[in-house]
Every structure is written in structure tokens, then in C-alpha cells.
Structure 1
């Protein structure tokens, strides 16, 4: 089993999307790479954490490259501190790794997306995970608990094969 942390805007939809993919073993939403080791939904803007999903996955079923292909499918990689209708630094995009060997794979994906857009610089952070604070219980599996809840992502895209 491997793991990766992805910031992609509001974590409700990101979790709803990734939990549909074969090979994803576990999802957990929280706050990552802020300036403190404590935060919560009310404080996240002050502690500069990003809403982030922690993915545990089986690399024999889905690779990190595959996960990142899905990731870039659901974000606007050029948007600074905004995804969908959500604005603020807590909605920034980022790939936060715990395994150093994941960094070059993620960098290659970032470079590839940039190249497809005439070398334009992406607003996606690539950093080692500094900290991760698990979000409150009501945020976990939010769209299962609230099937008509807000989501900026087309969850049906998870069923569409990658090209």
C-alpha cells in the first residue's frame, strides 16, 4: 500500500471522486501543510492549511501516475487559491508526498501538463507533507452523508476511462 496527499479545492468532492476509483483503499480528508500542528474548519484560513485528501492506494491496481492523471482531470491547475466557487488559500492545489520517490513522478506530470499549455506555469504546489490534521467527522464521507451536498467536481468523470 502507498499513500499520497492531494489538495484540490473543497475536499468533499475530491474525496467523492477518488473513492470511486479502483485501487483506492482508503480516503480521509483533512488539512495539510499549514503553519501549525493544530487547526480546524473555522481556523484553517488563519493557519494556512490546504483542504487535502489523504489517499491510500494499491499501486498494483492504480499507479501514482494514474492517480495524478485523475487529479489533473478535476482541477484547474492554473487557478491560484481557487477551485470551483471556493476562494481562499485553503483551496489551493498541491501534491504532498511522504515517499521521496514520488516527487519525480509528480514533477514529470506537472511538467507534462505545463508543456501541453505552452510551458505555462502551474499553480500546483509540489512539496513533502509537513503536517496533516484529520478534518472533523462531519467532513469525512461528506457526499455519502449528504448526497445533494455542494461539489465543484463532476463525480461522473471518475467512471470515464483515462485516455
Structure 2
């Protein structure tokens, strides 16, 4: 069963930095940059930069409302924008760099309007952030998607250190990038790919029990493969439209960590949960049994 997701569109200047920031929020499952609310039916980066199409550089954020509320996303968004300046963010000037919050569902409107009214009461300057229903959103060219992941030293007007990542301090760089940024480890490189000891596998972020060695099998795909999670309540499933295809993304239920993907090409067409080793920590059966005994 797929977890119910919602979508909000945020314009805050150059979409490279806004996307990188928003994608790091816990509960935001996917992001896509594009052009919104313009009058050209086939916008390109060059056309939008001319200022003649009316589009705003915008980030489409898909999030789990059970993990992060819309007003929490908006609070974080306001950390990285100047809400009092029209058609400019940082050194970037033009109508394509205007700020805006664009909802997809009518039920989101009240939350957005209430949030902006609260911010206006707190400010002596006029807030000029647009707020209305999304219109004519077109995904940007592929090289713009996850731009700062592909180009870590690339231009960014946003301070990416404004997110509090203390809960991830124990993670390695690879563990953070895979669980929080949805990257994928190199096939056959993970420590649990060719590993079949008895025990359980837990979320590397918070220790949530996810999979059992009883359900692990050698799929020879390059990543650990499981026939099922230890409990359906331990994971959530989401449609993933990245990389030009439709897949089923698998996340941990409590920490919302990206784990991998679900396929149905296991033995006899059975499920194959293809999971990144870097998202897991293995606990030997004897040690886990002792932990459970001490717990109860």
C-alpha cells in the first residue's frame, strides 16, 4: 500500500540551491526543478532566462504529511529567501527569480494563506511572496535536476548549513547521501551484498528493525535482496518517477530513510526488495535476542 503523499511548489530564486535545501528536509521524499506559472507551453532555460515567458524557477516537492507538515516546510523555506524583495534573490535578478508558494490541492490554500498572514504580522516590511494555485509547471532540463549533487562546487545562493543535521552526525558521508538524498551505492560494493549471517538488519539512522536474514537471498543484482520486510509497518512505498521510468521506492517508516526499490523479479516472480547496504546495520541473531530479552 502506497503512503499518501502531497505536493507543494516553491519558488525562491535559483532553483539549484532551493532544491538542494528542500530535498534535505526530513519527510520530503522527492524534488524536481522546473518552470511554473508562465505563458510559454514549451519553456527552456534560455527562454525563461530571457524574462519573456513569465515563468518562475520553481521546485516541486513531494512530501509525507505524516512526517512533515506543510507549515513546517514553509518555515524552512522562509529561512532561505528574502520575502520582501520582488524579482530578486541573492545576486540573481529577474521575474524568473521571484518568490512564490503554489499549491496543488485546494486543502493546502488555507495553510499557505494563514502562514503568510502570520509572517506579515511579524514583519514591518511588506511580504511580496506570491501565493496561488500552481499553473503550467514544466520540468526543467535533466542537467538542472539535482544539480548540486552532480556539481558539489556549483553556484548556490542558499546557505545549505541552515538545516539542523545533528541527528545524522553518526552517519558516514555515503550513508547520509543515500538515506537522505536518495543516492545509490555502486553495485557489488556494499558490505552486505554477499553476506548471509543470521540476524536482523536495522535502519542505520535510528535502529528501526527492517529486514531479517531469513528473508535475504542472493539475487546477483549487486545489492542486498530481501523477499519481504520484517513487517509491512516497518516500511513505506512510494512511486518514483526519476530516471525516466516508474519504480517503487522503499523507505523506512519511522526515520523516512531512503532504502532502495521494490521489484517483482525474484524467484518465480516473487518480490525483490533491492536495498542499499549503506542504509542498513546488521545485528547478529544472538546479540539481537539478548537485546530483546534485556528490553522486556
Deviations along 1:22-47, whole A, 9 cap, x unmatched?
Answer: 10110000000011222010001221
Measure, in 1, the Cα distance between the counterparts of 2:101 and 2:16: 17
Measure, in 2, the Cα distance between the counterparts of 1:29 and 1:130: 14
1:102 match = 108
Is 1:122 matched up with 2:110?
no
Q: TM-score, normalised by structure 2?
A: 0.53
Moved over 3 A (4+): none
Measure, in 2, the Cα distance between the counterparts of 1:104 and 1:36: 29
Measure, in 2, the Cα distance between the counterparts of 1:21 and 1:130: 25
Measure, in 2, the Cα distance between the counterparts of 1:158 and 1:136: 27
Measure, in 1, the Cα distance between the counterparts of 2:41 and 2:107: 25
1:42 match = 46
1:28 match = 32
Measure, in 1, the Cα distance between the counterparts of 2:144 and 2:29: 18
- Cα-Cα RMSD: 1.2
Q: What is the SS of the residue equivalent to 1:26?
A: strand
1:153 match = 158
Contact (CA 8 Å) 1:143, 1:149: kept in 2 or not?
A: yes
- Select the structure of larger CA radius of gyration: 2
Deviations along 1:55-97, whole A, 9 cap, x unmatched?
Answer: 0000001010000001111100001100011000000000111
- Give unpaired runs (5+ residues) of structure 2: 167-296
2:140 match = 135
* 2:21 aligns with one of 17, 20, 43: 17
User: Greater relative contact order (Cα 8 A, min sep 6): structure 1 or 2?
Assistant: 1
Is 1:87 matched up with 2:82?
no
Deviations along 1:99-125, whole A, 9 cap, x unmatched?
Answer: 01111111111111111113x321100
How many residues align? The count is 160
